[in-house]
Amino acid sequence: MIIAGAIIVALATIVVLVKFNGLPVSAPQSTSTTKPPVQSAIDKKIASLSTNDKVALLFMLHTPGTDPATLKAFVDRYHPGGMILMDDNIPANESDTLAVSQAIYGDDKAFPRLVATDEEGGTVTRLTSDTYDSAENLDQKPPSASFTAFNQRGKLLHSLGINLNFGIVADVTSDPTSFIFPRTLATTPSAAADRVEQAVKGENGQVLSTLKHFPGHGETNLNSHETIPTTDVSFSHWQQQDEIPFASGIQAGAEAVMSGHLIYSSVDSVPASLSAKWYGILRNDLHFKGLTVTDDMIMLLHSGDPAYSDPVKNAIAAINAGADLVLYVTDHGANTQVDPAALLNGVVAAVNDGQISQTTLNNAVKYVLTAQQEAAKEQ
């Protein structure tokens, strides 16, 4: 007993000496004072949002008009993640577009609403002051000319408060009968890749860049505004042809990729805009970490395909597939009027009944907020 007592005293002495020598002393897990990780601004923002708020962030909408007060009333009603400016949103005095953009931003300076347009130059031009080189002649000039043109274009958009440009066509084709041919930057994958890279670098710091129309519109000569173009080219052919300019633009730092309403039947039977396989290829194979946005979803309605006649179901399918931002020009002519409230309510209902998981919703919201945060840095 004396020996055992001595051992206990000796052990206690060692513990005291260890403590006083500043060496680590183990403690029971239950008494740990480890602080929880600090929440990022985005995580805090997400935690503050209701389901309705989150769903609204996944939509980019449109309403006609150039009156800032009217546009502000629209975004205050629906709270979309972004708005797209079409021709009918550009004032006669083009410099007044800045007031339009500012009316849309919202009050959160850290996460301003995305204000987008599709300013490619040339064939697709919203701004009459954009007289810079476009696809019509950039394919005949060295890649550096694409840097200059899109740097000038980016500065113009920046001056008007537009923070996201759907303007860099990464499609490639040598077929002059193709619908997309006049808008492509080159006729071969390597030449297109060089020009796409320079266009992205030119816009950098001015406006968030978007590559379109993933996975590539150049494999068909049909117009995706009127139908759903379909191609049966193999995936390996796509890798050797259409993938290359997109990969180049992603490596150059493009912040967004727009998915097209295009069916590559060897990969999936549904349009890429609704295809989890294609979003997976974009994320996992091309390692894209930015914002995914659909082409105008109204185009699916215009295709006449009964499988895509329900705008709410289309939105749900796109979000579940991997789209972060679904684009709806809801007043797309007299024959295609879609109620924004019905869209939002339909997707909220899909979240509430489990058709869209909270994980899917939060992941998409995180990408939208990240893009908004990046836009704030460039204002």
d(CA 330, CA 296): 9
CB-based contact 233:217 (threshold 8 Å): no
Dump pLDDT digits (tens) for 113-147. Answer: 999 999 999 999 999 999 999 999 999 999 999 99
Cα–Cα dist 195/58, whole Å:
30
| AA identity, residue 10 | A
Residue 111 and residue 30: Cα distance in Å, rounded?
39
Query: Which H or E run contains 83?
Result: strand 82-84
**Residues near 228 by beta carbon (within 8 Å), at least 6 away in sequence:** 261, 262, 263, 271, 300, 303, 305, 308
**For the chain, first and last CA: distance in Å?**
79
Structure tokens at 299: 């185009």
CA 46 to chain centre: 17
Q: Check residue 19 and give its pLDDT.
A: 37
Residue 320 makes CB contacts below 8 A (sequence gap 6+) with 276, 355, 356, 360
Give the start-to-end residue ranges of the domains of the chain: 43-377
295: Cβ–Cβ under 8 A, 6 or more apart, which residues? 212, 213, 224, 258, 259, 260, 261, 273, 327
pLDDT at site 336: 66
Cβ atoms of 242 and 171 within 8 Å: the answer is yes
DSSP character at residue 92: S
Helix axes 189-203, 243-251, angle to 10 degrees: 30
CB 173 within 8 A of CB 125: no
CB 181 within 8 A of CB 122: no
Q: Is 79 left (phi over 0), alpha (psi -120 to 50) or beta?
A: left
167 touches 134 (CB < 8 A): no
Residues 6 or more apart whose Cβ sits within 8 Å of residue 211: 168, 170, 196, 200, 245, 246, 249, 250, 254, 256, 257, 258
Bridge partners of 306? Answer: none
Per-residue confidence (pLDDT) for residue 314, from 0 to 100: 98
Question: Which of 206, 204, 203 is closest to 158 using CA atoms?
Answer: 206
Round to whole Å and give the CA distance between 59 and 361: 12
User: So what's the pLDDT on residue 379?
Assistant: 80
Question: Can you tell me the distance from the alpha carbon of 60 to that of 123, in angstroms, rounded to the nearest whole number?
Answer: 23
The DSSP line for 229-249 is -EE---HHHHHHTTHHHHHHH
Superfamily of domain 43-377: Glycoside hydrolase, family 3, N-terminal domain (3.20.20.300)
Q: Which long-range contacts (CB under 8 A, 24 or more apart) does 120-123 make?
A: 120/167, 120/168, 120/169, 120/183, 121/149, 121/153, 121/167, 122/182, 122/183, 123/182, 123/183
pLDDT at 33: 47
> For the chain, which ranges sit under pLDDT 70?
1-38, 332-336
What is the predicted pLDDT for the residue at 14? Answer: 38
Predicted TM-score (pTM) of the model is 0.89
Residue-level pLDDT at 210: 98
What pLDDT digit, counting tens, does each position of 216-236 carry?
999 998 889 889 999 999 999
